[in-house]
Amino acid sequence: MTEIAHYINGAHTESTSGRSQAVFNPATGTSSKSVALASVSEVESAIAAAKAAWPTWSKMPALRRARILDRFKSILWERGDQLAEIISNEHGKTHDDAMGEVTRGLEVVEFAVGAPNFLKGEYSENVGTGVDSHMIRQSLGVCAGIVPFNFPAMVPMWMFPVALATGNTFILKPSERVPSTSLKIAEWLTEAGLPEGVFNVVQGDKEAVDVLLSHPDVKAISFVGSTPIAQYIHQTGSANGKRVQALGGAKNHMIIMPDADLDMAANALMGAGYGSAGERCMAISVAVPVTDAVADALIEKLVPMIKALKIGPSVDSTSEMGPLISAQHLDKVRGYIDAGETDGAKVVVDGRDFKQNQQGYENGYFIGGTLIDNVTPDMSIWKDEIFGPVLSVVRRDSYQDAVDLIHAHKYANGTAVFTRDGDVARNFNQDIEVGMVGINVPIPVPMAFHSFGGWKASIFGDHHMHGMEGVRFYTRIKTTTSRWPSGIRTDAEFTMPTLG
């Protein structure tokens, strides 16, 4: 069995921890490789390599750092399909979906190439008599990223391109379920000219994470995952003096108004609810039709579309939805459907009945698209993030009732409204207490030059990811006030200087 290990100081590094776990292909339910789980000393080795590389890398002109990232960007453009194949094999998502992930990650690299522009400081002449002042942004040092299984390329690229462009060194701790993508990224960064130690990959579990959270040489932590772990990462990292951005869970609602184009809304819900088997933090998992008439008409359109979903492995180019990530997660998603039914909701389309009959994939972690009507806010299928292809319908009598439903939820990552009414759209955008909003757009993931992040229990920390928020997270401000000899007073000053 092949063991997937680390990438430290510019080279693949075998593990000496003696600990590992199996890596499965979700489409077949089989394993032919394992991933090493790093020891404390292995994580410390990566931190030491990153720390040693930082002084030289941080002082390299931003233009030269950007050129290296630009070469990496070109490699991604040319070989993105190779990365997509690795993603599909370990995650299970379709090849087209994996290619979309690579493209969205690449867009952050494109943004990071602009480092010479966004790192420009500010200068004020004569803030006082003969006194000038200027501000610059400098890197923090060693930064670390802890990322989830569902986007093994895109989510790391929300983090490390901006971190590297601003002069930091980086340690990536990928999910144990999808370890291979990170190593290919590391290889390509080295090929692009990145110096040894600037980017490192440490495979591992909580033991590795806790070293990153506690080690004094790690200055900042970026995280995407579930809310309980995001809260743990934020509290532990902050207690150890680190800058932390930790993005957590989501329960994203889409309001469908009576004037909405229902064909457009139904198609949007199909992609947003069932794309990537619902394993997205921006997936729409709750449809909120306003009035029963809208709900009935919407469900009538959705049912045949859901039943027609082509569910299969990524090697089948006609597949629209792949398997879930693991057998345990498959059981969890089925359990939520069971609970909804027990609580009185109506299972209109039941994905539990799906059977994969393609030869060689009968034991994969497949489930069908599920639609559940008459869901109420007291049910676990509304309260919890299911992270599967389960779309709940919560009926509401008015626009305000729909907004109140969204505000009642603990998560506030993304949301959308479908309407032709400009007043409704404007009011929704202005008043909704959610971090990312779509107007007739079901998955409002910002472009790379904007920033990604939710509100409430969907985020811990002050900064969202990528865009200028990412630049602010990975840099600190230094302000210098200067006066040269011809302007120096000869007498001592004992009062607070006013400079004027």
Strand-pair partners of 247 = 224, 459
Place of tokens 């930082």: 54
Element containing residue 136 per DSSP (H, E): strand 131-139
- SS3 state at 478: strand
Element containing residue 173 per DSSP (H, E): strand 169-173
Pairwise CA distance, residues 268 & 418, whole Å: 10
* Cβ(422)–Cβ(444) below 8 Å: no
Q: What is the dihedral of CA 440, 444, 448, 449, to 10 degrees?
A: 60
Pairwise CA distance, residues 193 & 141, whole Å: 20
Kindly give, in sequence order, each residue whose CB lies less than 8 Å from that of residue 434, ignoring residues fewer than 6 positions away. 406, 412, 413, 414, 415, 454, 455
Dihedrals phi, psi of 301, to nearest 5 degrees:
-75, -35
Q: Please, what is the Cα angle at 429 between 423 and 430, to 5 degrees?
A: 90
Q: Please, what is the Cα angle at 94 between 93 and 99, to 5 degrees?
A: 100
Pairwise CA distance, residues 166 & 162, whole Å: 6
Residue tagged active-site, from 23, 159, 257, 281: 281
Task: Give the gyration radius of the chain's Cα atoms.
Answer: 25
Pairwise CA distance, residues 270 & 309, whole Å: 9
Helices (H) and strands (E) in the chain, counts: 15, 23
Q: Please, what is the Cα angle at 101 between 100 and 104, to 5 degrees?
A: 85
Q: What letter represents residue 346's amino acid?
A: K
- Alpha helices by DSSP H, listed for 92-194, are 95-112, 115-118, 154-165, 180-191
Q: How far is CA 120 from the centre of its chain?
A: 27
143 is catalytic: no
Q: DSSP assignment of 303-353, as one string?
A: HHHHHT--B--TTSTT-SB---S-HHHHHHHHHHHHHHHHTT-EEEE-GGG
User: Two tokens at 58?
Assistant: 């941080």
Pairwise CA distance, residues 425 & 420, whole Å: 8
| Cα-based distances in Å from 359 to 312, 317, 355, 362 | 11, 16, 12, 7
Kindly give, in sequence order, each residue whose CB lies less than 8 Å from that of residue 296, ignoring residues fewer than 6 positions away. none
| Enzyme catalytic residues | 281
